[in-house]
């Protein structure tokens, strides 16, 4: 495994670095005060347009879809360089990372022409409407239904944990269209207008004070059949396109996430009744464990990058990074706040590093659910990476309406 850039990658990195240095502007550092929602949307759209005009959006997408037609390593290089700064990218990460690749893989030519370019340019925001109150880890258990009515479908039901639904213009939604078939075979996916009559997004208040996630209710929402993605009943197959992109996207460590060095620096500063925290052997052991986990994450990600550089597609082993990253971030942030004792949750005017750890602590619980829970990902690792026997699935071949009734 060679961790160094090839000559072509090094040249692209220099090109990206020069462009970012010339254009990153106010995003070089964190804003002095957090943006409110309107400012976040405004800055996000502006940065997306700037990147698009310079040819740094859709880097791996086909040129026929408005992309750059380049290899995945160029996308990785761009992401690595952009992550050195604080440009707002989160508003478009789900739409461009998961939704639109699903749209141009399974949508009609007319649908692709209508939606892809506007999303890439930052004109329209997208969300992914998958999880439900009784269907998250077991996604195929969804109950939101779509019933055919002439050339349209009528959607009724509820989704939950939908990131940025309240800021989105469109979403991709999986619905049950044939409850008489087994749960994986009676699903169909659609594009839904988030401003259509009958759509209501209710932001969920998080303990951080933010509202990134939503409950979304659908009451008699009409969607034209032209906005179906894939064939009727093929919704699970279409959803797998989205899920593979999602797990790759959330498998790595989030930008600017704290690491073992954060713990080490803090332990050197914190004074306890027995002296500086770093002097305690249990503190050093926890930092060492975090270092080992951080290095394991880095090397696992390098393995995936190595596969990409050889033209291979990363497989289910990417689930390993997701499981380890989420668990490590949560445990590390909790330990860091323990070191701070009661000062760990004082907000306003405190150490910026402590505030960053607070954010990591409050966000990391969600990360253990996003893109598949730990339990689901461990099943994937066991069955598809280690080749262990599959989990017992007694309802796999039962008609969905029969399994729900049982």
Residue 283 has which token pair?
């503190």
Which residues are CB-neighbours of 218 under 8 A, at least 6 positions away?
A: 144, 155, 156, 157, 158, 159, 173, 192, 198, 199
Contact present, 368 and 374 (Cβ < 8 Å): yes
Half-sphere exposure of 373 (CA within 13 A, CB side): 8
Question: Which of 124, 215, 246, 355 is an active site residue?
Answer: 246
- Separation between Cα atoms, residue 212 and residue 281, nearest integer Å: 39
Residue 3 has which token pair?
């961790």
Exposed, middle or buried, 406 (CB in 10 Å: 0-12/13-18/19+)? exposed
331: annotated active-site residue: no
Rounded to the nearest 5°, which phi and psi values hold at 192? -125, 140
- Separation between Cα atoms, residue 365 and residue 378, nearest integer Å: 17
- Separation between Cα atoms, residue 206 and residue 363, nearest integer Å: 9
- Separation between Cα atoms, residue 139 and residue 390, nearest integer Å: 17
Which residues are CB-neighbours of 187 under 8 A, at least 6 positions away?
A: 140, 142, 174, 175, 176, 177, 233, 234, 235, 236, 239
- Separation between Cα atoms, residue 58 and residue 81, nearest integer Å: 16
According to DSSP, residue 151 is labeled T
- Separation between Cα atoms, residue 328 and residue 324, nearest integer Å: 6
Which residues are CB-neighbours of 214 under 8 A, at least 6 positions away?
A: 160, 161, 162, 163, 164, 165, 166, 201, 202, 203, 204
Active site positions, annotated:
246
């Amino acid at each position: 495994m060679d961790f160094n850039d090839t000559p072509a990658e090094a040249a692209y990195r220099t090109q990206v670095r020069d462009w970012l240095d010339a254009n990153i502007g106010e995003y070089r550092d964190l804003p002095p005060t957090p943006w409110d929602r309107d400012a976040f949307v405004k800055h996000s759209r502006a940065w997306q347009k700037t990147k698009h005009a310079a040819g740094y959006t859709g880097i791996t997408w086909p040129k026929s879809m408005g992309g750059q037609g380049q290899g995945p390593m160029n996308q990785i290089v761009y992401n690595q360089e952009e992550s050195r700064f604080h440009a707002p990218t989160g508003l478009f990460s789900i739409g461009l990372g998961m939704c639109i690749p699903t749209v141009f893989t399974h949508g009609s030519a007319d649908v692709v022409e209508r939606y892809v370019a506007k999303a890439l340019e930052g004109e329209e925001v997208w969300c992914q409407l998958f999880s439900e109150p009784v269907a998250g880890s077991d996604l195929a258990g969804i109950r939101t239904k779509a019933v055919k009515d002439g050339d349209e479908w009528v959607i009724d039901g509820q989704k939950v944990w939908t990131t940025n639904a309240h800021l989105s213009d469109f979403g991709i939604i999986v619905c049950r269209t044939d409850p008489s078939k087994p749960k994986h075979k009676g699903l169909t996916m659609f594009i839904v207008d988030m401003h259509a009559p009958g759509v209501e997004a209710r932001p969920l208040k998080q303990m951080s004070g933010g509202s990134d996630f939503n409950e979304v209710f659908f009451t008699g929402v009409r969607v034209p059949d032209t906005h179906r993605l894939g064939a009727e009943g093929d919704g699970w197959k279409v959803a797998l396109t989205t899920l593979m992109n999602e797990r790759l996207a959330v498998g790595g460590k989030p930008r600017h996430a704290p690491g073992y060095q954060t713990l080490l620096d803090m332990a050197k500063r914190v004074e306890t009744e027995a002296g500086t925290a770093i002097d305690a052997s249990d503190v050093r052991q926890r930092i060492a464990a975090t270092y080992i986990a951080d290095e394991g994450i880095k090397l696992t990600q390098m393995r995936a990058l190595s596969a990409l550089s050889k033209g291979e597609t990363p497989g289910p082993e990417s689930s390993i990074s997701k499981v380890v990253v989420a668990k490590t971030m949560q445990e590390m942030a909790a330990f860091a706040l323990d070191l701070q004792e009661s000062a760990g949750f004082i907000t306003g005017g405190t150490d910026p590093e402590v505030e960053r750890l607070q954010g990591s602590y409050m966000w990391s619980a969600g990360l253990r659910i996003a893109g598949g829970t730990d339990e689901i990902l461990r099943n994937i690792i066991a069955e598809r990476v280690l080749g262990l026997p599959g989990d017992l699935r007694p309802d796999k071949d039962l008609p969905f309406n029969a399994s729900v009734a049982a």
